[in-house]
Amino acid sequence: MRIEEGAELRFGGDAERWVLVDGGPPVAAACADEGGEIHRAVNGFLPLPAPTNPELTLFEDNEGHWMLEGESGTRAAVDQERVEAGAFGST
């Protein structure tokens, strides 16, 4: 059975209800350390700290691996790693 967006799920009764708001696949995301706005990758691309003046770029390569590119070159990204971009750190 496929669960569609907007579907309501309940586990063990009515006390705990969950609604599927986004049925899409997971995407790379980053936010400032202090709970800032969450920035999500679009079409396999995530410029940090902002699209207008990126210092780092997170992108998905042709094999589906996430890569991090900056002044020091390009390398594989590590899930949940902390990086410095702009005036704040992102995870």
Nearest to 83 by CA among 25, 28, 26: 28
| Positions of E strands within the chain | 8-10, 17-19, 29-30, 39-40, 45-48, 56-60, 66-70, 73-76, 83-85, 88-90
Amino acid at 91: T
pTM: 0.68
**Where exactly are the structural domains of the chain?**
26-90
Give me the percent of the chain exceeding a pLDDT of 90: 41
pLDDT at 55: 93
pLDDT at 57: 95
Name the β-bridge partners of 46: 58
23 compared with 63, residue with greater pLDDT: 63
Tens of pLDDT, residue by residue over 34-76, are 777 888 899 999 999 888 889 999 999 999 999 999 999 999 9
